[in-house]
Structure 1
Amino acid sequence: MKRSTWWMTMMCACGLALAGLAFAKDKKEVNEYPNSTRQEPKVEMSAGDQKDLNKAADLVNDGKTADAQPLIEKVIGSEKASKYAQAFAHQLQAQVFWDQDKGDDAIAEYKKAIAFDALANAQQFQLIYALAQTQLQQEKYQDALVTLAEWEKLSGKQTADELALKSNAYYRTDQYQPAVDAMKKALSMTDKPSESWTQILMASYFELNQYDEAARIVQAQLDKDPTNKKLINQLATVYIQGDKQQQALDLMAKAKSQGLITTSEDYVQLAKLQASADKPKDAAATMKEGFAKGVVQSTYDTSKLLGDVCTQAEDDACAIEGYTKASPQAKDGNVDYQLGYLLFYSNKSKEAIDALNRAVTKGSLRQEGEAYLLRGDAENELDQNAAAMADWNKALTHASTKTMAAQRIKAAKGGVKVQRAKKK
């Protein structure tokens, strides 16, 4: 299943909150991990290493990583340093690399620190969790899932934050049902979830085509913040994907009545929604209003959209205006073909020929035969008989226009004036 681009842009980034780097001066009275399967190791470190690492940790936490680096390297390079000191030094080195935007190097250092298996449980588990967070940040999603599984196994614990992190990793690896299951459990464990958690849950339902569930989540958020345009657009998109165009239209109509349709993106989305719901006149009116207010700027996409919806609404003058504006920016000839067609049936054969010339020159036409046929008809209208015959002969080589071209050629050779075909 291909992930929707819209949902990807909607997703909130998972923040990285690394474990604090400082020695615990006193043992905590409360055991945070009563179900841990790991034995508490004996903590040993020389007074000199402790002094160096305490100072290095303070410097790292103050953002003075350059000053901390020599102290860290001193411990890492010492053959006499205990496993605990080595583990803590590599943990500090990981933080330095992270602060320097060297995510992969930070991951390598975290793994070295973990491999010593020398830190107290609380520190060791924080370290493993920080590794999973960093892997997620570095888009190593499957690695993050493996690390989180190890964290759960050793700590004997699950938390709302950890499950949310796991759900995020599942989502990024297209494992949408596990993402839903993990996030639902995370949400059940806290009354203060991050906004990004519900976004991940909603996006997972969306990818599973469970649009009613996705809509329910967005609606619950919208009930709390009824003028939130982002949520309105999200809910409209969910409705559209769930083939509930009328609900989407009603939602956007309400937003418009509330004065929430204010940007170019708002007008464009509403017009597209109206067009997809087979309301081209409404779509045309929306685009006209956006242009008239100066909110919608004339770009290739907006101008072509104006041409498209006005064509569907049988508003030829408006469609001609839209396609004329889009023409200079068109990379192929299809817009100019549409423009030529409309100009021809608006009794503007000369302008139609100009547009069709551009269409043929730009190429990549979806209806190449029709372009030649139509240009021949326009030339025939202006009594440019030789040019018309040449274009009809070109149209004769295309299967879609072979029969019509042959009829025109036969009539012209017989001295019969070819009459304008009916507009389709």
Structure 2
Amino acid sequence: MKLSKWLLAAICATGLLLAGAAIAKDPKKAENQYPNATRQEPKLDMSAGDQRDLNKAADLVNENKSADAQPLVAKVIANDKASKYAQSFAHQLQGQIYYDQDKSDQAIAEYKKALEIDGLANAQHFQVLYTIAQLQLQDEKYKDSLATLDQWEKLTGKQTADELALKANAYYRTDQYQPAVDTMKKAVSMTDKPNDSWTQILMASYFELNQYDNAAQLVQQQLAKNPNDKKLVNQLATIYIQGDKPQQALDLMAKAKSQGLVTTSEDYVQLAKLYASAEKPKDAAATMKEGFAKGAIQPSYDTYKLQGDVCTQAEDDSCAIEGYSKASPLAKDGNVDYQLGYLLFYSNKSKDAIDALNHAISKGGLRQEGEAYLLRGDAENDLDQTAAAKTDWQKSAGYPSTRTMAEQRLKAAKTGVKIQKAAKKKK
């Protein structure tokens, strides 16, 4: 949230105009922007020399020539005889110079000096105070920003939409979500053209409060104005998911796909997961296939495994085998290889199944270790590797989940009965 350099330059430009106006005419005749201010307007005067130096310095700062402005500002700051007005304005300019140099802490310190000297006109003084709050928020000093904004309200005797929005932002950053909602709603009510970022903060605050219906309503209103805004579509889908409304999320994303808005890896993955959650595995599998075919889905362990999972659920074994095969080299444990071995075995590829199960067992971390030995034994038996099969079944018998099945196979093998392939379990 980088504060606009233009904005800060404009602040100094305002100061320059005020400096000239204070000498040229009676400040009492100027329009009073803060009729309820608790701070009294100070006397605005400075010597002709200080005015000349500061006017020149302000011009240079606004022309992005801070290095040339620096000696003029330093001259006024070092002048013990300079008026409070001149000193305050000089420190304000010095704050701008530090900001231009990306020295935010020093900028804030100089702005605070400008306020402590207490020589600026109210409009200028209050703008500097507001700038400090903005910089504190930018520097993630959220509590300091809130305190500064409270001080601004007390001194000015007013609230504005922009100021309240800034305050709501700080509340949100400090996990004070209800105050963020209340403050931002007030800010929005005070203007006909609220900033889009305000709505985002309000929506995010509702989200954190688990007020998903309120968050959804807010995004729906925005989406009605901008139906092709992908960011809004994804936000609303996330809100529906968190609000336990998966069908609404699915309907939204399916519509977005028909509008050509599902284009990124994240889009395709989210849609595939929504189809899977809605027990529509064939649609999930088709979505993953399309995403990979278009080069939209980024290759990774997670995306390849998701392909394997949804294609398994869709009983599309060739697609599942492809996904798990690509996930295997990226896997940190053997669970994907176990799934791959299972599918290969039931695709009558027992030799490949044994290779996959070897990887599964050697990688470890298996959730179904007993099943892995049992399945490898079955694959070895299928290839008439009887001794190897008996060894694996014996190992499988050591696991409670597979003890009975393993003992049945060992018993059958002793009697010379050919073990038939067990029926494939529906995943």
> How far 1:171 sits from its partner (Å)?
0.9
Partner amino acid, structure 2, of 1:58: D
Query: Residues of 2 paired with 1:347 and 1:370: CA distance?
Result: 18
Partner amino acid, structure 2, of 1:290: G
Query: Residues of 2 paired with 1:388 and 1:377: CA distance?
Result: 7
Query: Residues of 2 paired with 1:93 and 1:393: CA distance?
Result: 82
List alignment gaps of at least 5 residues for structure 1: 1-12
What corresponds to 1:279 in structure 2?
Answer: 280
**Structure-2 change in CA distance of 1:116 and 1:306 (3 Å):** same
Confirm or deny: 8 A CA contact 1:136 1:169 kept in the other structure: yes
> How far 1:37 sits from its partner (Å)?
1.0
**Structure-2 change in CA distance of 1:395 and 1:89 (3 Å):** farther
Task: Say which of 5, 11, 14 aligns to 1:20.
Answer: 11
> How far 1:290 sits from its partner (Å)?
2.5
| TM-superposition CA deviations, 1:53-96 (whole Å, max 9, x none) | 22222111111111122222333334333333332222222222
User: Following superposition of structure 1 onto structure 2, how do residues 358-377 of structure 1 map, counting pairs within 5 Å?
Assistant: 358-377=359-378
Aligned residue pairs, count = 412
User: Following superposition of structure 1 onto structure 2, how do residues 15-164 of structure 1 map, counting pairs within 5 Å?
Assistant: 15-16=3-4, 17-18=7-8, 20-21=11-12, 22-23=15-16, 24=18, 25-26=20-21, 27=27, 29-164=30-165
**Structure-2 change in CA distance of 1:406 and 1:175 (3 Å):** farther
- Choose 240-249 or 119-128, whichever is displaced more: 240-249
What corresponds to 1:240 in structure 2?
Answer: 241
> How far 1:417 sits from its partner (Å)?
4.7
Asked if 1:352 corresponds to 2:343, the answer is no
What corresponds to 1:423 in structure 2?
Answer: 424
**Structure-2 change in CA distance of 1:415 and 1:30 (3 Å):** same
Confirm or deny: 8 A CA contact 2:3 2:135 kept in the other structure: no
> How far 1:409 sits from its partner (Å)?
4.8
> How far 1:266 sits from its partner (Å)?
2.6
Query: Residues of 2 paired with 1:214 and 1:101: CA distance?
Result: 36
What corresponds to 1:201 in structure 2?
Answer: 202
Question: When the two structures are superposed, what TM-score results if normalisation uses the length of structure 1?
Answer: 0.89
Query: Residues of 2 paired with 1:371 and 1:88: CA distance?
Result: 78
Confirm or deny: 8 A CA contact 1:187 1:193 kept in the other structure: yes
CA-based RMSD of the aligned residues comes to 2.4
What corresponds to 1:223 in structure 2?
Answer: 224
| TM-superposition CA deviations, 1:337-393 (whole Å, max 9, x none) | 221121122222211121122223333333334333332332333333443344445
**Structure-2 change in CA distance of 1:121 and 1:378 (3 Å):** same
**Structure-2 change in CA distance of 1:44 and 1:348 (3 Å):** same
> How far 1:414 sits from its partner (Å)?
6.1
Confirm or deny: 8 A CA contact 2:46 2:85 kept in the other structure: yes
Query: Residues of 2 paired with 1:419 and 1:107: CA distance?
Result: 80
Confirm or deny: 8 A CA contact 1:14 1:196 kept in the other structure: no
- Corresponding residue SS for 1:192: coil
Confirm or deny: 8 A CA contact 1:141 1:173 kept in the other structure: yes
Query: Residues of 1 paired with 2:38 and 2:93: CA distance?
Result: 26
List alignment gaps of at least 5 residues for structure 2: 22-26
What corresponds to 1:165 in structure 2?
Answer: 166
Confirm or deny: 8 A CA contact 1:94 1:107 kept in the other structure: yes
Confirm or deny: 8 A CA contact 1:274 1:280 kept in the other structure: yes
> How far 1:398 sits from its partner (Å)?
4.6
- Choose 293-302 or 211-220, whichever is displaced more: 293-302
Confirm or deny: 8 A CA contact 2:305 2:327 kept in the other structure: yes
Query: Residues of 1 paired with 2:80 and 2:361: CA distance?
Result: 77
Question: When the two structures are superposed, what TM-score results if normalisation uses the length of structure 2?
Answer: 0.88
Partner amino acid, structure 2, of 1:365: L
Percent identity over the alignment?
75
Partner amino acid, structure 1, of 2:213: D
Asked if 1:191 corresponds to 2:192, the answer is yes
